[in-house]
Amino acid sequence: MHCRLAAGSVPAIRRAAGARVALVLGVVVAFGCLPAAARTDTVGLRYDVALAPTGDARIDRTVERVSMLVALRDDETLPAFSLIARADADRLRIDDVLRSFGYYDAVVDVRIDDIALSDPTLLQVLAARAGEGAVSVAVRIDAGPLYRLGAVGTDWHVPPAAAAAFDLRSGEPAQARRVLAAGAAVRDALREDGFALARVPPPQVTVDHRTRTMDVHYAVEPGPRVSIGAIEVAGLERLREDFARRRLGLTPGDAYSPSRLEQARRDLLASDAVAAARITPASATDADGRLPLRIDVVERARRTIRLGGAFASDEGVSLSAGWEHRNLFGSAERLSADLEIGDIDGASARRFDYSAGLSLRLPDRRRRDLDIAFDLVTVSESLDAYDRDAITFGAALEQRISSRLSAALGVAFERSRIVEEGPAEDFRLFSLPLMLAWDGTDQPLDPRQGLRFDARVVPVPLVQGDRPSFVRTDLSAVGYLDLGRRSPVGKAFDEADGDDTRPPGPTVLAGRLALGRIVGAGADAVPADWRFYAGGAGSVRGYPYQSIGPRTAGDSPAGGDAAVEASLELRRRIAGPWGIVAFADGGAVARDGLQELGAFKIGVGLGVRFHTVIGPLRADLAAPLEPSPGDAPVQLYLGIGQAF
């Protein structure tokens, strides 16, 4: 075979137009010149890769993250031609990284076993090495001089908000990412200012290698400033259109704003009856110069059934079931029924303990985001501390103040019969619960980042008989910190940008703190079910349920008027859906105020998690550090969802 090699480009040169094409042609021609035996050899190669540092830690980190040689080095073996192609793709990818940092005259030299990629003998040499030890891939980078921005600007006098968004300045490093982001920022600012059809095409860029500067010029096409036109709502089945429009809060003639449209979409999604919503502006204005909108809605299944279960070695097995209708009358009214059956201590005189409840929620009463909720609950339980039969009815006004903050004010009536160590006592209580909740976590089922606060203050002004009124306060804070957020393979990330779109890391640190206090009456004067207890699942694992705190003369849990609990968990994903957890819980209960807290009991343990779409399945083993006589050395807990 007679071959004539084309003049291929050398990798270790200043990049010029046509370099990529020339190198590929050189490799293809070289492949065609190999003997047939070499071309059909299917034995693959393994390789080691070394990235020489550039002296800039940000560039080095980004290069390592985008390098497919690095990301795929532990995968299966690959043919020699594929290794050369991967190395050349990395050379171009790394050059793009350098340009994004403002280095437009860089040298990226990639060699395999110290042979340049453009060497026509490389493919034949690697084919001969197939089946032997790993070959070495070395990447050396000379970033060259840093280029800076020269003349920058647009060809249109943009409004002040859009002008402020264009934050390129002469003399700054000519980073491609910043240049492109400036154009996107101008476009977004124009649209936010009502120019819904604004376009900002890619900039005209001129790189002067003599002065090492880059001139950037944007041609802005703002279009007209518009307001919202006719609004079409599509996809509704049982949900009433007037309810959907009220949730959206949009009116024809309102100023156009993408952020306002997104907020309207989120407001609609806040309804339990809506699974998905999309707002699509028209591509042109109507005859009145307004921009029509189309809202596509996907409704949730109207009825759902929930099943659940849990096990704790100190409490026994519990099973739960629930039924819910998400759209009872067409305006997202929610009716739900719940039943839980359990054997709390495993030795109850009754066969089962149970809790049954019925609730109705009426959304957007009188005003948007103001809900009315009614709840009816009946309970029968036998605990170490007391036996209780009760029925409770409550009604509350719940206001969503923002997407994260909500508040509620309610009234509740409770009738109960409680047996401690003496004769049974009957109680009739009237209470005024006040609640405030803030949720800044990233997801509801398995949070990995953020904080959550809950405050509940319940005045009980009326208690049957001569018992005094009292106020119970519960405060809790939960925090989550992702310790290992990382950048996706093949994508760059510059920490200086504050980019938080990286996928989650494998490790999460979670903490919980809870405080409780009753004022206005001593613990003995408060009904037993309103006192504070600690120990067990959801409290201090490792200790039996309600076992931490003061005891009665008969050695039963007495409860207290103050309590504190704290938990710390280190959660780590190890393989696929599997994860492990190390945790420590602690708590104490006082009989007479926080200043009289008893011993702070601590339990430690390990757990396993199997992550599913409905949340993790949980198994925890916990041991008490200061067990009381008769306490088991280890407690087992099984359930659905994280411990907190």
Give all strands (DSSP E) within 121-268, no chain letters.
135-142, 148-154, 204-208, 213-218, 228-234
Q: Please tell me the distance from the alpha carbon of residue 22 to that of residue 42, in angstroms, as a whole number.
A: 26
The yes-or-no verdict on residue 10 having pLDDT over 50 is no
Residue 346's pLDDT band (cuts 50, 70, 90): low
> Could you tell me which of 243, 228, 230, 231 has the C-alpha nearest to residue 295?
231
DSSP 249: T
DSSP 247: H
**Mean of pLDDT over the chain:** 87
Name the one residue in this structure whose structure tokens are 């307004």: 290
The yes-or-no verdict on residue 5 having pLDDT over 70 is no
pLDDT score for 40: 39
DSSP 77: -
Distance in angstroms between the alpha carbons of the first and the last residue of the chain? 72
Chain segment 91-137, per-residue pLDDT in tens: 999 999 999 999 999 999 999 999 999 999 998 888 888 778 889 99
Q: Please tell me the distance from the alpha carbon of residue 446 to that of residue 577, in angstroms, as a whole number.
A: 13
Report in angstroms the alpha-carbon separations of 402 from 250, 540, 626: 17, 33, 44
Chain segment 24-63, per-residue pLDDT in tens: 323 333 333 444 334 434 567 889 999 999 989 999 999 9
Q: Please tell me the distance from the alpha carbon of residue 176 to that of residue 93, in angstroms, as a whole number.
A: 14
Q: Please tell me the distance from the alpha carbon of residue 609 to that of residue 617, in angstroms, as a whole number.
A: 6
Q: Please tell me the distance from the alpha carbon of residue 559 to that of residue 533, in angstroms, as a whole number.
A: 5
The yes-or-no verdict on residue 282 having pLDDT over 60 is yes
Q: Please tell me the distance from the alpha carbon of residue 443 to that of residue 449, in angstroms, as a whole number.
A: 8
Chain segment 191-219, per-residue pLDDT in tens: 999 999 999 999 999 999 999 999 999 99
Q: What is the mean pLDDT of residues 482-498?
A: 51
The yes-or-no verdict on residue 497 having pLDDT over 60 is no
Which H/E stretch holds residue 571?
Answer: strand 562-575
Report in angstroms the alpha-carbon separations of 400 from 270, 394, 405, 453: 10, 19, 6, 15
Helix/strand/coil percentages in the chain, nearest 5: 20, 40, 40
Q: Are strands 434-439 and 425-431 parallel, antiparallel or unpaired?
A: unpaired
Residue 156's pLDDT band (cuts 50, 70, 90): confident
Chain segment 53-84, per-residue pLDDT in tens: 998 999 999 999 999 999 998 877 888 889 99
pLDDT score for 281: 95
Q: What is Dmax (Cα atoms) for the chain?
A: 111
